Amino acid sequence: MNELPLVYMKDIRKYFGNRRNIVTAVDGVSMSVERGKNAAIVGETGSGKTTLGRISCGLEYPNHGTVMLDGENLKSMKNRELWKTAQYIHQDPYGAVDPLETVQKILQQPLRNLLGLNDQEMIDERIRHYLSLAGLDESYVSKRGGELSGGEKQRLLIARAFIMGPKYVVVDEPTTMIDFIHRNEVVETIREIGKSNDTTITLITHDLGIVGKLSQIVHIMFRGAIIESGPVDEVMVRPYHPYTIFLASIKPSNVSEGGKITEMVKGYGRLRQSFTFSRGCRYAHLCPLADDRCRSETPAFEEYTSEHFVACFKPGEFSV
């Protein structure tokens, strides 16, 4: 049983919507997460990261495809079992933290209800421990959710996910409201808790800076598909897909009005809205290198160099 990866997803498709308009949020993705090898999903807004992450931990069912979690088919898993095995940290801390509930209650409920703990002293000890790991001191226990700042809410959500001792956690943009000094700290904490608890993590983020601090494998998503993936060091150092190359080129040091990157970004943004994908490469209409073949044939997702996969007819050719 342990030969299967912790998370195994095969040919996942997910549609939303009604007859008038159907949205394909995930369009045929296969992805695995190996035990102890943290993954990351990076990509454009609306590209399906959250949907894929939620599917991987059973919060959402795909319309097509198979999901196996810890050797079991998600379809046959009971909710209770599922929540003990996998946790999801919500992208939107304001929507995920009950404003009227105290921090104590928020953390204690799942311990009592799902893990069946009832030794109050043990519960309190555990709550204090995980709060402090997440960087919140004891005084926060009596605060209500609504009284926490954005960054404090994000820390609380981290504590809530890990306090359950799950095998798998999906963290969806966990540090967006935390400053850069503390961001690294928080990410390292997440990694450390993961390591000491044998929890494997999938990080969803658009912050390329933190990917390598937590994850070994990175998947780049674009319009519902994974278009590039591989070891973080590989993909970050030598990206192949023109989208990844463009994404990685945007840094504080080159954001100046009138600069080349700024103009590229403006052009990209203007082009993007006016397009619905039909065939060919899904990046073709935005890609400076696209030719007729790119617009009519779909590039296969293939191993281009060792363990480094990409869906592109011209891998590595683009430069900024």
Partner 1 sequence: MIGTVLQVEDLNIYYSTFGKSKRVVEDVSFTLKRGEILGIIGESGAGKSTIGKAIMGLIEPPDRAEGSIIFNGKNILTMDRYLLDRIRWKKISMIFQASMNSLNPVQKIEDDFYSIFRDKMNIRDKRKMEKMTDELLLSVSLPAYVKYRFPHELSGGMRQRTVIALALTTSPDIVIADEPTTALDVITEYFVLSILKERLRQSGSSMIFITHDLMAIMYMANRVLVMEKGRVVESGALEKIINEPENLYTKMLVSTIDR
Ligand X SMILES: Nc1ncnc2c1ncn2[C@@H]1O[C@H](COP(=O)(O)OP(=O)(O)OP(=O)(O)O)[C@@H](O)[C@H]1O
Binding residues among 46-85 for partner 1 as defined by CB under 8 A:
46, 50
Minimum CB distance to ligand X, residue 98 (Å)? 14
Contact segment (CB under 8 A) with partner 1 among 7-15, 108-116, 176-184, 192-200 equals 176-184
Minimum CB distance to Mg ion, residue 47 (Å)? 9
Q: Which residue number, 91 or 108, has a Cβ lying nearer to Mg ion?
A: 91
Number of H-type helices and E-type strands within the chain: 12, 12
Q: Which residue number, 5 or 53, has a Cβ lying nearer to partner 1?
A: 53
149 lies in the site for partner 1, by CB under 8 A: yes
Minimum CB distance to partner 1, residue 93 (Å)? 8
Burial of 220 (0-12, 13-18, 19+ CB in 10 A): buried
Calpha distance 63→170 (Å, rounded): 21
Contact segment (CB under 6 A) with ligand X among 48-56, 162-170, 183-191, 302-310 equals 48-56
Interior/surface letters 154-171, b for 16+ CB within 10 angstroms, e for the rest: bbbbbbbbbbbebbbbbb
Residue 246 touches which of partner 1, Mg ion, ligand X, none (Cβ within 5-8 Å per kind): partner 1
246 lies in the site for partner 1, by CB under 8 A: yes
Minimum CB distance to ligand X, residue 139 (Å)? 10
Minimum CB distance to Mg ion, residue 49 (Å)? 5
Beta strands in 62-216 (DSSP E): 64-69, 72-73, 86-89, 168-172, 200-205
**Per the structure block, which two tokens stand in for 74?**
């998600």
| Cβ neighbours for 6, distance < 8 A, ≥ 6 positions apart | 33, 34, 35, 69, 70, 167, 168, 200
139 lies in the site for ligand X, by CB under 6 A: no
The upper half-sphere exposure of residue 319, i.e. CA atoms within 13 Å in the direction of its Cβ, equals 2
Tabulate helix, strand, coil % of the chain (nearest 5). 40, 25, 35
Cβ contact 50:44 at 8 Å: no
150 lies in the site for ligand X, by CB under 6 A: yes
Options 77, 123, 148, 310; binder of ligand X; rule CB under 6 A: 148
Q: Among positive and negative, which fits the CA dihedral 26, 58, 50, 40? A: negative
Distance of CA 127 to the CA centre of its chain: 25
Adjacent-strand bridge partners of 12: 29
Q: Which residue number, 71 or 269, has a Cβ lying nearer to ligand X?
A: 269
The upper half-sphere exposure of residue 71, i.e. CA atoms within 13 Å in the direction of its Cβ, equals 5
Options 17, 46, 71, 150; binder of Mg ion; rule CB under 5 A: 150
* Binding stretches for ligand X (CB under 6 A): 16-17, 23, 25, 43, 45-51, 91, 146-152, 177
* Binding stretches for Mg ion (CB under 5 A): 50, 91, 149-150
* Binding stretches for partner 1 (CB under 8 A): 16-17, 20-21, 23, 42-46, 50, 91-92, 94-95, 142-144, 147, 149-152, 155, 173, 176-184, 206, 208-209, 246-247, 250-253, 255-257, 261-262, 265-266, 268-269, 272-273
